[in-house]
Amino acid sequence: MFPELTGYLFPNDIHIHWSLMIVMYPYITGLVAGAFLVSSLYHVFGREELKPLGRFALATALCFLAVAGLPLLNHLGHPERGINIMITPNLNSAMAGFGILYASYFIILLLEVWFVFRVDIIDSATRSRGLKRQLFAILALGVYDTSPEARAIDRKIIRVLAALGIPMACLLHGYVGFLFGALKANPWWSTPLMPVIFLFSAMVSGIALLIVLYQIAMRLKGMPIDRSAISAMARWLWLFLIMSLTMELLEIMMLAYERAEEWEVIGHLLTHQLSFSFISLQMVGGGLIPLILLGIVVLMGGYMDDRIRNTLTMVSSLLLLLQVLAMRWNVVIGGQMFSKSMSGFRETYVPEMFAKEGILAALAIFFIPFVFLMIFEKVLPTFKHLES
Amino acid sequence: MNPESPLIHTKHVFRAAILLLAALIAMFLGRSLFVPETWGEYGQYRGAAVAEHRDKPIRHGGNDLCAMCHDVEYADHAAGVHASVQCELCHGPVAFHVDLEEGEVLAEMPVRRSRELCELCHRHLEARPADFPQVDVRDHILENGGELTTDACFACHDPHSPF
Amino acid sequence: MARHDKDSAGSPVPISRRQFLHRSSTAVAGSMVIALVLPEGSSAGVAGADYDWDRHRWVYLIDTTKCIGCGSCVRACRAENSVPEKMYRTWVERYEIPVEAEAFIDSPNGGEHGFDPVATGLSVRKGFFVPKLCNHCSQTPCIQVCPVGASFATRDGVVLVDPEHCIGCGYCVQACPFGSRFINPETRTADKCTLCYHRITTGLKTACIQICPVGARRLGDRKNPDDEVIEILATQRVEVLQPELLTRPQCFYLGMDMEVR
C-alpha cells in the first residue's frame, strides 16, 4: 500500500519509523504518572478524600509501569541490544534518560508498594499454609513486625518515597516530552511547551483511568462509590484538563499568528491528515465535551445526585482516555507525516493490523497491565482496608 | 539487640535496604562486564567501529584499473570527449566484474547498448546547464536519418569516443 | 578464469595473477596492496602508518551549476555501499522555478534512474539540480541524540554509525534536519552516507565523486595547505543547507538558490 504523497519529500522521509509503539509508550507512562499522582495526593499531601483509592492507584501505577518498556523493546531494530542504553548511555541524549529514570522510578514504586502492603503481606503469610505461606514469607522478607511502631516507621518511609516519586514520575514522563520538544529538526515537535503539555495530559489520562477503573471495581465488588473521592478526582481532572488544553491550543495559536514556515506545514497537517484525530477527537469530542461535563460536576457537584456525578465523570474519563491517546498519536505520527523539506506531505498512515508494531500488538500490550492488576488484586486486595 | 532500642522495629527496613543495595551493586558491576572492549578508545563510542568502516570492500576502481586489461578501449576513451566519464558509470563497478583481491573474473562486464543509457545524461532537460550537450532525442535521431530503435545512438556514435 | 591483456589482434590474452595484482596495486594508490598485505581486521590502528586521521579534515563541495542530473552518483553509491532499495545515502533533487509561481521540486527515486522531462505548463526560466548527502556536520544533532553512543564522529570529521552497537531506535533519523538518515531494513540499524570512509582513507575519492562525469562533487581537506576546495571556500561565495539550525554542515554548495530546501 503506497502512501499518497503531495509536494516534495526528501527521499528518506517517506518512511515512518516511529510507529504505533511510540504512541503507546508515552501513553502508558502517562497513565503511570497520573495514577501515581493520585496516590501521592493521599500519601504525601494527606488528601483524605482520596484514601479509598490510595492503594488501588499505587497498584495501577505499578502494573502499567511493568509493561512500559514493552512497546519500546518491540520497536527497536535490535531489542537484544536495548540494554546498551544502561551500559553505554550517552548522557547528552534525552532518550538515554530512559534507562536510569525507568530503573529508579521502578525501584521507588516497588518499595512504596511494599511498604504500603507490608502489613497485608504479613497477614496473608500468617493465614496461609504451604507454598502460599512460603511465597508471602519471602515477600515479607522474613520479618513479621506489625507493631504500631513499625507501622509508624512505614508511614514515614511511605511519605518520603511518595514525595521522591512525584518528581521521578514527572521526570519519567517529562523526559519523553523533552525528547520530542528538543528536536530542532521537527517544527511540530520543537517547542519548550512539549514536556509540560505531555505532563499535564499525562495527569489527565492517569486520573481518568483511575475514575474508570475505580467505578468498575466498585460495581464488581458491590461496594459503594465514594462520593468525595470522585468529586476530588473530578476537580483535579478538570484542572489538569484546562491546563492541558490551554497549552495545546496556545502552541497552535502562536504558530498560526507568527506565520513562519512551520505554520505552512502544521496548518496543512491539522486540516488534512490530522483533521479527525486533532479537531474532532483531541479538541472537540475529547476536549470541549469533557471540559463541559466535568465543569458541571465540579461547579454543581454539591447539588448533584451521586449517580449523575458518577455517570458524568465516567463518560468524561472515557472520552479523555481517548483524547490523550489521540494527542500522543497527533504528536508522534503527525510529526512524521511531513518531510523535513517543509514542502511535502504523506497524506495517510494506517497502522497494519497484524504487523510487528501494528494494532493488535498495541492492543495486546495495553491489555497486559489489566491482567497484572487482576492478579495483584487476588494476591493483595487494594480495597480490603475499606471493608471494615 | 536491646528490646527497648527504637531500632528493633526497623529490621524490615534494613532488610529492604540491603536488598536494594545488593541489586544496585550487582547492576553497576554487571554493567562493566558488558561495556564493549574498545569503548572510549577515541571518544564515547566503540573504537573498533572506525577500523570496521575502513575495512569495507572497495568496489569502484577507476579508469586506470580498467586500462590494465582493456587498454585499447581505454586509449580510445581517453582521447575522446568522454574522457571525463568513468568506465564504471556505464559498465558498473569493477568489483562486480573482477575479484579485486584474487584477480579473477567473476562475471561478464555489463554492456548496455541502449539509448536509455545515453539519455540519462544527454536528453534535453530544462534543469540541465544550458552549455551541456543535450538534445531532444527523438528529433535528433529523426533529423539525422535514423530510426527510433533502442540502440539508435550507436549508428553514429561510438560510446567510448562519441565524436 | 584469468585476466586478459590484448594480443596484436586486439583479443584478450591472459596475464598472470601476479602481474594483475602488482599492476592493480600501483593503479589504485596502493590500496590493494594494503588490503592484501595487512591481515584482516588489523588496519594498523587509525593512526597507523597507512593513514593518520589527525592529518585530515574532510569537507565536501557541490557545484550545482554543473550537475546534469544523470543520477550516476546515486547508482554508484548504492553499488559501492550495498544501500538497500528505497533508501538513499545520497540523492539528486531537481528544481524548476517558473516565473511568478511555486517552484517545482522532485527527486524520482532519488534521481537514481535520471529524470524525465516534466511539463510544468509554465514558463520555466530557472532550473537546476542539487545533489544531497549527509552533511557531516561538525555540530551534529544526530550524534547528540543517540542514546547509546552508536553515532559518532571520527577525528577527521566524518560522522559514522556503529552498526554493531546501534539499537535501531531511530532517534537520530528524526533528529537529522536534512533527511540524510534512514533505518536500514536489512541491518535494522541507522544508516547514512559514510563519506566512503573505506575509500578516502586509502587516498581514493568517494564513489559519488569519482563517478560524477562533470565534476559537480568534490572532496576537500582542510589540513591540506594546497587544497583546491579549501581555496574555493576561502574565496568564493558558498552556502550550506539550513544554516539557521547551526548544525555547521561541512558540505558546501556553490550556485544555490533560495528555493532549495
Pairing of strands C58-63, C251-254: parallel
What local confidence, expressed as pLDDT, does residue C49 receive?
46
What local confidence, expressed as pLDDT, does residue C11 receive?
41
DSSP string, chain B: --TT-GGGGGHHHHHHHHHHHHHHHHHHHHHHHHS-TTBTSSSSSBTHHHHHHHTSPP----HHHHHTT-HHHHHHHHHSTTTTS-HHHHH--GGGTB-TTT--B-SPPP----HHHHHHHHB--TTS-TTS--B-HHHHHHHTT----TTGGGGT-BTTB--
What local confidence, expressed as pLDDT, does residue C119 receive?
80
- Tell me the C-alpha distance between C70 and C212, whole Å: 9
Domain match, A283 and A334 both: yes
Query: Is the model's pLDDT at B47 over the cut of 70?
Result: yes
Inside any domain, residue A258: yes
- Tell me the C-alpha distance between A22 and A368, whole Å: 17
Q: Which amino acid is at A340?
A: K
Best residue of A2, A5, A12, A341 to probe chain C, by most C CBs closer than 10 Å: A12
Domain match, A64 and A163 both: yes
pLDDT in tens, A125-170: 888 888 888 889 888 888 888 889 899 999 999 999 999 999 999 9
A90 interaction partners in chain B (CB closer than 8 Å): 44
Q: Half-sphere exposure of B129 toward its Cβ, with a 13 Å CA cutoff?
A: 14
Domain match, A160 and A37 both: yes
Domain match, A24 and A163 both: yes
CB–CB contact A114 B16 (8 Å): yes
Of residues C110 and B10, more confidently modeled: C110
A111 interaction partners in chain B (CB closer than 8 Å): 16, 20
Query: Is the model's pLDDT at C30 over the cut of 50?
Result: no
CB–CB contact A111 B16 (8 Å): yes
Q: Residue B17 corresponds to which cell in the numbers above?
A: 535496604
How far is A34 from chain C, CA to nearest CA, in Å?
26
Domain match, A23 and A91 both: yes
Number of other CB atoms surrounding residue C38 within 10 Å: 14
Domain match, A358 and A381 both: yes
Residue A90: which of B27, B34, B44 has the nearest Cβ?
B44
How far is B35 from chain A, CA to nearest CA, in Å?
6
Domain that holds residue A240: 225-343
What local confidence, expressed as pLDDT, does residue C216 receive?
97
C129 interaction partners in chain B (CB closer than 8 Å): 127-128
pLDDT in tens, A10-48: 999 999 999 999 999 999 999 999 999 999 999 999 899
A332: which residues sit within 8 A by CB, 6+ positions away? A18, A22, A23, A26, A180
Inside any domain, residue A304: yes
What local confidence, expressed as pLDDT, does residue C3 receive?
41
Are C140 and C132 contacting, i.e. CB atoms less than 8 angstroms apart?
no
Subunits with at least 3 CB pairs below 8 A relative to chain A?
B, C
What local confidence, expressed as pLDDT, does residue A325 receive?
96
Query: Is the model's pLDDT at B125 over the cut of 90?
Result: yes
Please choose, from the candidates A66, A324, A35, the residue with its C-alpha nearest in 3D space to the C-alpha of residue A165: A35
What local confidence, expressed as pLDDT, does residue C240 receive?
97
Domain C45-261 has CATH 3.30.70.20: yes
CB–CB contact C169 A75 (8 Å): yes
Q: What angle do CA A357, A359, A362 make, to 5 degrees?
A: 70
Q: Where is average pLDDT lowest: A211-215, A223-227, C80-84? A: A223-227
Residue C96: which of B92, B121, B126 has the nearest Cβ?
B126
Of residues C99 and C10, more confidently modeled: C99
Q: Residue A72 corresponds to which cell in the numbers above?
A: 519500546
How far is C20 from chain B, CA to nearest CA, in Å?
6
Question: Where are chain C's structural domains?
Answer: 3-37, 45-261
- Tell me the C-alpha distance between C46 and C200, whole Å: 13
Domain match, A273 and A303 both: yes
Domain match, A339 and A388 both: no
Domain match, A278 and A158 both: no
Inside any domain, residue A195: no
Q: Report the pLDDT averaged over residues B7-25.
A: 90
The mean pLDDT value of chain A amounts to 93
Domain match, A103 and A159 both: yes
Which helix (H) or strand (E) covers residue C58, if one does? strand C58-63
Q: Which amino acid is at A329?
A: W
Give the CA dihedral C72, C77, C80, C85, nearest 10 degrees.
-100
Which helix (H) or strand (E) covers residue C59, if one does? strand C58-63
Strand partners, C189: C184
Best residue of A143, A146, A158 to probe chain B, by most B CBs closer than 10 Å: A143
Single out the residue in A343, A362, A377 at which a domain terminates: A343
Task: Output the pTM of the full model.
Answer: 0.90
When pLDDT is cut at 50, 70 and 90, the band that residue C20 belongs to is: low
Domain match, A68 and A45 both: yes
pLDDT in tens, C162-175: 999 999 999 999 99
Question: Please, is C215 exposed, middle or buried when counting C-beta atoms within 10 Å of its C-beta (0-12, 13-18, 19+)?
Answer: exposed
Residue A78: which of C147, C168, C180 has the nearest Cβ?
C168
Strand partners, B39: B46
Contact with chain C for residue A78, Cβ under 8 A: yes
The total of structural domains in chain A comes to 2
